[in-house]
A and B are shown apart, each in its own frame.
Chain A
Amino acid sequence: MKQISVFNIIKLVLLSTVLFINLQQAFAADAVKEVRIAAVAYGKDGKTGFNGSAGVVDTEGWLRAELQKQNIKLTWVAIPPQSVATTINEDFANHSIDFADYGDLPSVILNANGIDTRLIVPGGRGNNVYLVVPPGSTAKSILDLKGKRIAIHRGRPWEVSFGRLLAANGLKITDFKVSNLNPVAGAAALVAGNVDAFVTLSDAYTLEDKHLGKIIWSTKQAGQDWKMRAEVWGTKSFIDQHPEVTQIIATAFVKAAYWTSQDANRETYINTASLSGQPADVLRREFSQDTVTWKARWSPLFDDFVSNHYRVVAAYSKQNGLIRTDVDVDKLFDRRFVDSALKSLSLESYWVSKDAGKDVAKDASKLAPKT
């Protein structure tokens, strides 16, 4: 029976290691020595760079220096672009990160599953979602595509924007033959003529440039709260236990937003962002001819656009079975950090809190999916 006990021990050791890792991570918060922020990363020439605001914060170096003053180490957790939502949610669940700069829909899913995170710095107006058809297609709007085949990556933030487009036109997702394909497979399917339309992000322009597709609709034509959002979330426990550390992080992101939002830095931002592989020209078009001004695009304010957007995301997720419990959207926001960041940076009046007012209210009543 010797082997049995040996095997037992091995198994016990394995299990307790798992336990230990988790406990260690859970207790790590008691004395902050390290802050772990997850952000979408890309590799360029053997170095890791980060997308969006996280990239600006990283290059600026202010956050690292400020945390260093308090003997706190800043660790960027690089997340590959292909499965941002699931990876970050899993990392939040097993306590391997404290903050993350990522999307709206996964955040709602995470909170619906009982893991409390809070939005501390809104990321501005967000990214556009595009509807692309083959170059020879006669379809002019989503209505022309009824009953046709559409490629979309389900469960990703852009699904919500697409859902709103459908709802606004009195359509349902079941009115289409939906193929759940990731953006790469989706593009290939569109190109090969296997689908009649493809819902995606700014890579739509790359398809247009290669004469492989034609954009017939984008969230640029819709309410500003239709865009897909990505912003700074933190675990509730970390925020509650270490509000002063959280404040430094929030200030860093507000500072980055301020830097980016100045017209003088627009080109610098685009050129840096293009290192991720998206051509600068594509990014330029993603940002141009939009109803949002460059400055407002980066507004970190908790305005109606933010809350209305999340209300729609929560309703959509519930309606489509992505979550089983209702999410109280207002509880997801922790507004105090942005306010004091703006104060400390003397930017209180830089951005105007856009009470989306009638415009959005009208949009919401008309466009929010019927529950």
Chain B
Amino acid sequence: MMATKKLQAFPTFSVRDVLLRFVSPLLLLAMWIALYQSQALPSQILVSPLQVFEAGRDLYQSGELWTHLQYSLNRLLFGFAFGGFAGLVFGTLMGGSKLVENLCGPTYNTFRQIPTIAFIPILILIFGIGETFKVVVVAQAAFFPVAVATIDAVKGIPRSYHDVARAYRLSYVQWVKRIVIPATVPPVVTGFRISLQRSWVVLIAAELMAAESGIGQMMEMGRQMLRIDIVMVGVVLTGFIGFMLDWGFRRLESRLIQWKSN
């Protein structure tokens, strides 16, 4: 997982290193168990890892977990795809054209600072309360990091490339294909990765606030019922999913960097 990347970063590794990786998670687990067994904290505040596991198993067996997960992942997928694509297009325009930048810059920079959650009532009015609305919330969150990265990447294309393009009389399509894309792919992919992470954060927040399904909603209901075990299942699960998404994207990133250098 993360290991592959870091093993590359550090030239050599040994069994000791691999073992060391497990020390801190295990230590945390041990402390958790110790703290639980000392009964220093009431059971409503701290549940044992076993109880969390059991709550997770129950939720899985009742099919509840899977339903919530499906809803959340669907929203994430569509919202991220739409928002990311829009961010890419907008970012290219903003980075490539002084006019667009002048026109949209201030508005864009202001909107960028407003947490998606704040738009919820207005979004409900426009998009209703169905899945569209939740996808839009995610898309809005996904839009900005991609746009930011794309703008920077496009602006960062060295002047000399422009001169080369002019010298070779490249058409617009060729210019995008031959120069813009290769020069901007790595930072833009990083933008996508941050965007995915942020979409996930916002989706969970939105589900905590207004939804009838999804992992965030499962956690919120758990919170209301003081079922800390369910909340913990949510924390572990969302963390794991976030980890996997991030890992996948990093793999993609290193592939692209390899592809670029070839």
With A11-B31, A22-B41, A114-B44 as given contacts, are A185 and B124 in contact (CB-CB < 8 Å)? yes
Assess whether A65 is interfacial by the CB under 8 Å rule. no
* Contact between chains at B221 and A189 (CB < 8 Å): no
Q: A115-B44, A185-B124 are in contact. Are A109 and B226 (CB under 8 A)?
A: yes
Is A178 located at the chain interface by the 8 A CB criterion? yes
Q: Is A142 an interface residue (CB 8 A)?
A: no
Q: In the bound complex, do residue A93 and residue B45 qualify as a contact, i.e. CB atoms below 8 Å apart?
A: yes
Within 8 A of B (CB), among A219-272: none
For B116-146 the 0/1 string (1 means CB < 8 A from A) is 0000111011101110000000000000000
Q: Are B121 and A184 in contact (CB under 8 A)?
A: yes
Any B CB within 8 A of the CB of A6: no
Query: A280 at interface (Cβ–Cβ under 8 A)?
Result: no
Given known pairs A11-B31, A23-B40, A115-B42, the reply for A180 and B211 (CB within 8 Å) is yes
Shortest A297–chain B CB gap in Å is 28
A19 at the interface (CB under 8 A from B): yes
Task: Using CB atoms, name the residue of chain B closest to A92.
Answer: B44
Cβ B124 vs Cβ A15 within 8 A = no
Chain A residues, CB < 8 A from B68: none
Determine whether the beta carbon of B226 is less than 8 Å from that of A185. no
In the complex, the answer to whether A110 meets B226 with C-beta atoms within 8 Å is yes
User: Chain A nearest CB: distance from B128 CB in Å?
Assistant: 4
Decide: B124 and A154 in contact? CB cutoff 8 A. Answer: no
Contact of B225 with A192 in the complex, beta carbons under 8 Å: no
- Interface size counted on chain A using CB atoms at 8 A: 38
Query: A22 to B39, alpha carbons, bound, how many Å?
Result: 12
Min CB gap B213→A, angstroms: 9
Which residues in chain A, 1-40, are within 8 Å of chain B measured between CB atoms?
4, 7-8, 11, 15, 19, 22-23
The answer, yes or no, to whether B176 is at the interface (CB within 8 Å) is no
Assign chain B's interface to a size class: 20 to 34
The reply to whether the CB of A137 lies closer than 8 angstroms to some CB of chain B is no
Q: Is B257 an interface residue (CB 8 A)?
A: no
Residue B212 interfacial (CB < 8 Å): yes
Question: Does B256 touch A at the CB level, under 8 Å?
Answer: no
Name the prevailing secondary structure of the A interface residues: helix
The reply on A195 being an interface residue by CB < 8 A is yes
| Contact in complex: A192, B224 (CB < 8 Å) | no
Let me know if A89 is at the binding interface, CB within 8 A.
yes
Q: Do A155 and B128 contact each other (CB < 8 Å), given the known contacts A19-B41, A115-B42, A115-B44?
A: no
Q: Measured between C-beta atoms, what is the minimum distance from B32 to chain A in Å?
A: 9
Q: Complex Cα distance A109/B228, Å? A: 13
Q: Name the interface residues of B26-49: CB closer than 8 Å to any CB of A.
A: 27-28, 31, 35, 40-45
Q: Which of A89, A182, A185, A191 has the most CB of B within 10 A?
A: A185
Residue A67, interface by CB 8 Å? no
Can you identify 23 A-B contacts, CB atoms within 8 angstroms? A8-B27, A15-B31, A19-B40, A19-B41, A86-B223, A86-B224, A90-B223, A93-B44, A94-B45, A109-B225, A113-B226, A114-B43, A115-B44, A151-B129, A155-B224, A179-B212, A182-B209, A185-B120, A189-B129, A191-B125, A192-B124, A194-B124, A322-B224
Please provide the 10 A-B residue pairs with the shortest distance between their CB atoms, ordered closest to farther.
Answer: A188-B124, A155-B224, A180-B212, A113-B226, A194-B128, A185-B210, A188-B121, A93-B44, A192-B125, A194-B129
Given contacts A85-B224, A109-B225, A185-B209, 12 further A-B contacts (CB under 8 A): A22-B41, A23-B40, A89-B226, A93-B44, A114-B42, A115-B42, A155-B225, A180-B211, A182-B209, A182-B210, A192-B128, A195-B129
